Structures are given as C-alpha cells and as structure tokens.
Amino acid sequence: MSGTFTKSMARNIFIGGSAFFVFLFLALSLDTVRALPDRDNRQNITEQVALGKKVWEDNNCIGCHTLMGEGAYFAPELGNVYDRYGKSTVAIKAFISSRPVEGIPGRRSMPQFNLSEKELDAVAEFLKWTSEIDDSNWPPNIQG
C-alpha cells in the first residue's frame, strides 16, 4: 500500500537484522571454539612453543613475513617453512642465525636479530608447531 518506506521500519530492520546476525555469529564462534581442539594442534603446545611465539612477536616477524597467509608480503610465508626446510628445525635456526648484519647489497635481506640459542630453538619449534595445524591444507604447495 505504501510504495515508500518509513525510517522507523528501516531502523527496526537495522536493529533486528544486526541482533539476528550477531547472535548467529556468536553461535558459530562458540561452535568453532568447541571444535578447535581437534584441529589446532593445541596438544603439542609446550613451554618452548610458547616462548617461540613470544620471540616471534617481540621481533615483529609479522612485519615482513606472512604466517598462515596473514601478515606482510615482503618475505616468504612461514606457516609451512618447517616442511619447506626438509622438516628440520636445525635448518631454520641456521638460516636465522646466519643473517649478515649489513644485509646483502641490492637484495632484500633479513636483519640479524642476535637471538640466543634458547630463543632460536623456541622460534623454530613454534614454526614447526604452526606447520602442524590443520588449516585445510593451505598453502597450495610447498613454496607457500
């Protein structure tokens, strides 16, 4: 009958629609949190992995790398670096610790973070742990 619409109806739809989808989102998020344990590899979180995450954050690795596809796009994806480096934390540690202080002329280079042996072990374990998360087999291939 009206042919036009009223502001009060539009507002009711805004409030009703938003409340509806907020509830739906919370329900789905609750289900996700309940479903995570058998996907997110939490059983393998050790003290070392926790320290590794702290080392990862304290040195702002996300400022150049992506982790599981999220972060900066300047340097390679590290969610699967453990697999790419032949499933070896030693290789990861060697790469990090051998970064030249002055960098490589004319090329992108990773800074030398002077991490202690303990920190190197921790961040390598953290990256190994991250590679074991069930992320619907992303990335498409080993190159990440």
Q: Does 91 contact another protein by CB under 8 A?
A: no
Distances (CA, A) of 40 to 33, 62, 107, 129, 136: 10, 20, 36, 10, 11
C-alpha 55/C-alpha 49 separation (Å) is 10
Examine residue 80 and tell whether it contacts another protein (CB under 8 A): no
What mask of x and - would describe binding to another protein in positions 40 to 79, judged by CB under 8 A?
Answer: xxx--x---xx--xx-xxxxxxxxx-xxxxxxxxxxxx--
Q: Among residue numbers 16 through 45, which ones bind another protein (CB under 8 A)?
A: 16-18, 20-25, 28-29, 31-33, 35-36, 39-42, 45
Q: Least Å distance between CB 119 and another protein?
A: 10
Site for another protein in 122-141 (CB under 8 A): 130, 133-136, 138-141
Neighbours of 112 (CB within 10 A): 14
Rounded least distance, CB 131 to another protein, Å: 11
| Amino acid making up residue 63 | G
Question: Under a CB-based contact definition with an 8 Å cutoff, are residues 99 and 113 in contact?
Answer: yes
Decide: is 86 part of the binding site for another protein (CB under 8 A).
Answer: no
Tell me, what amino acid is at 71? Answer: G
C-alpha 61/C-alpha 71 separation (Å) is 9
Residue number with CB closer to another protein (69 or 90): 69
Count of positions on this chain that bind another protein (CB under 8 A): 82
